[in-house]
Amino acid sequence: MKNARLRRGTLTMLASIGVMAGLSACGSSDSGSNGPKVTGQVLGSYIQGAAVCLDVNNNGKCDQGEPVARSDAQGKFSITDTSNGSWKYVVADLNGATENDTSGKNMGTTFNSTATFRSPRGVSSVSAITTQLSQLIDSGLSQSDAQTQLANKIGTTADALLGDFNTNGNAVVKAASDQYIATVASSKAIKHVWVIVLENKSAESTYGTTASDSNQDPYLKSLVPQGTYLSNYYGTGHVSLDNYISMVSGQPSTHDTETDCFQLWSDIVDIGNDSANPKVLAAGTDANGHQSGGCVFPARVQHIGNQMEQAKLTWRSYNEDMGNDLNRDGTRTCSFPRRTAQLAGTDPTKAVDGTQAAQAPSASGDKPGDEYATRHNPFPYFHSTIDDLANCDAHVVNLQDDLATDLQSIDTTPNFSFITPNLCDDGHDGDGTGTAGKGCANGQPGGLTSIDAFLKKTIPLIQASPAYKQDGLIIITTDEGVVTGLTPTTQLSADGKTFSVLEPEMGNQCPGCNQQTGPNVTRPEQVAMSTLPVAEAYLLGISASTLPATVQNVSIALNYLGVGGDQIGTLLLSPFIKGGHVDGTGYNHYALLRSLEDNFGIGSYLGYADDASLKPIFTSANIDNR
């Protein structure tokens, strides 16, 4: 009997040492300390063995020295606050924890190594629901407003959001928690996403066989059997920038973003929210005198990068060629026209985007080739990014400088990466044939030929990375499609003084998407891109000799016929995808943003991503085991 008691005492001591060792990995134990108690419950169902800490440095993790405790079989915890109350959130580190049902049975859930929950001060539960609430508070909302917004997203009432959904019968909140755990916190979660954006290619050109350039991208076509092809994926606008804006923020066109902000790089004047959708900004008259115009969104308008930071996740925008010529781009990180103007000692309020056309290298070699285009890099178009230059420099970087280096380890690979090739490698310039005079400024063929060469280097680089192999997803998409067979029309102004060539932009949208124009533009609509005196008509390809004698000016205008961006197709690649699946559901850039927000467990949808009619892309049919 004495030996049995000795053995039991030894086992108890060893178990205690094991628990203490586990606590020290995520912070110091508060056992025996004096101070106020912070108590609560980690909910999934009930999560046992989570390291629950008071997040003193507000980094979303449990660090050494922060007050910590372990949750019991009912998810309950009690932490002694030795920090003098200097914390905002409770954090539960779920790595190695188990999920128990209401009877105490282990449900077999396996959490991924970085899975955490957060909860704001004063809320007793720590769960997927409180995690999303914490993100919204970090976005600047009061807890009350954040609670209301999250409740609306989930489909419940604010007063029913934060109770124990295992016992109070709120099946809607319980389902939202279960979905979050399955897609965000479990071992099957996709934790690293790369979005690669190409330019101006229709689905038939890129993935089909009948277009004149369909034979230019054999490598990209070879990837289709490895992934899921979204055949009915559409752009959201024309000509470029408004697609990039919608992709990352859900905001629709202004009169300047729909024409790539080719005049003064102006602020969007905030006149409030769209009456039809309070998450969409209504624009006033900008510095160009454009009603409902402007390029740069006010700080209250956020993008997915802001959301990632609020979720304590990482992101980067990689831009090929940015800063190749500092006289042109200003910087190698966070380059945008106003900053370039300021660095050059000129008036930033008069800045015009100098990257609208590619720069060829000089024959002498003293001027490098530079094909960076600001309009294909959406993040500088938000004051929420450029108002903090240090933060912008850390997130908006040069592709050649940083991508390969960041991919070397999981820790240095961002959770969300947005990749913008240069004006040749994205297919914007050149026709891909290699014919003299029809290529890019750098001498490459451009078109789908250069797209294929870029992807042939970049896709294997990503797929070889530890992050991709563990839990990665690559999304290859295009900004907008091109509709063939449309003939430009001409128009003479009522006074006979202006002759315009109208370039048609069809703007078909994906079936079932019900895309809205937004409050700032109309459809159909004609927008002048370039207007010149009739003596310079030849610069626009117009013969002055064929014009009426009354004409004093000539113009090239975009003739917008619809609200969408036409069919482009999109390819998903992941270790989680068996391959060979084709999904004919209607998707667009707003649906992609909504799906990314769901994938990363974001507590709110931005702009038109809030449209409940949008279909989710990251389904079990498209990505195995989702």
Are the beta carbons of 566 and 506 closer than 8 angstroms? yes
Write out the E strands in 51-191.
Answer: 51-55, 67-70, 76-80, 89-93, 98-100, 116-120, 125-126
Same-domain status, 555 and 570: no
The number of beta carbons lying within 10 Å of the beta carbon of residue 526 is 13
527/541 Cα distance (integer angstroms): 18
Same-domain status, 223 and 255: yes
Same-domain status, 171 and 278: no
Two structure tokens written together for 45: 């169902």
Same-domain status, 223 and 322: yes
Same-domain status, 479 and 493: no
16/321 Cα distance (integer angstroms): 56
Identify the residue whose tokens are 């979204």: 230
Two structure tokens written together for 79: 């932490």
Are the beta carbons of 558 and 503 closer than 8 angstroms? yes
178/191 Cα distance (integer angstroms): 17
The closest of 44, 245, 42 to 53, measured between CA atoms, is 42
Two structure tokens written together for 481: 């499609």
Same-domain status, 459 and 604: yes
Same-domain status, 556 and 603: no
Are the beta carbons of 202 and 186 closer than 8 angstroms? no
The closest of 218, 238, 244 to 420, measured between CA atoms, is 244
| Among candidate residues 170, 185, 200, the one where a domain is terminated | 185
- Asked, for residue 625, whether it belongs to a domain, the answer is no
Same-domain status, 40 and 150: yes
Measured in degrees and rounded to the nearest 5, phi and psi for residue 373 equal -130, 120
What's the CATH code of the domain at 270?
3.40.720.10
Contacts of 345 (CB under 8 A, 6+ apart): none
| Among candidate residues 125, 157, 185, the one where a domain is terminated | 185
Same-domain status, 396 and 509: no
- Asked, for residue 362, whether it belongs to a domain, the answer is yes
Same-domain status, 247 and 220: yes
SS (H, E, C) 561-583: CCCCCCECCEEEECCCCCCCEEE
The closest of 246, 161, 171 to 605, measured between CA atoms, is 246
Same-domain status, 445 and 584: yes
| Among candidate residues 145, 165, 185, the one where a domain is terminated | 185
The low-confidence residues of the chain, meaning pLDDT below 70, are 1-33
- Asked, for residue 549, whether it belongs to a domain, the answer is yes
**Hey, which residues does 156 pair with through a beta bridge?**
none
Boundaries of domain holding 291: 192-485+566-610
- Asked, for residue 2, whether it belongs to a domain, the answer is no
Q: Are β-strands 67-70 and 28-29 bridged in parallel, bridged antiparallel, or unpaired? A: parallel
- Asked, for residue 618, whether it belongs to a domain, the answer is no
Three-state DSSP state, 624: coil
240/505 Cα distance (integer angstroms): 12
Same-domain status, 470 and 501: no
- The total number of structural domains that make up the chain: 3
- Asked, for residue 553, whether it belongs to a domain, the answer is yes
Two structure tokens written together for 342: 């300021």
Three-state DSSP state, 365: coil
The closest of 513, 522, 506 to 562, measured between CA atoms, is 506
- Asked, for residue 619, whether it belongs to a domain, the answer is no
Question: What pLDDT is recorded for position 480?
Answer: 98
- Asked, for residue 3, whether it belongs to a domain, the answer is no
User: Residue 581, Cα to own-chain centre: how many angstroms?
Assistant: 24
Three-state DSSP state, 140: coil
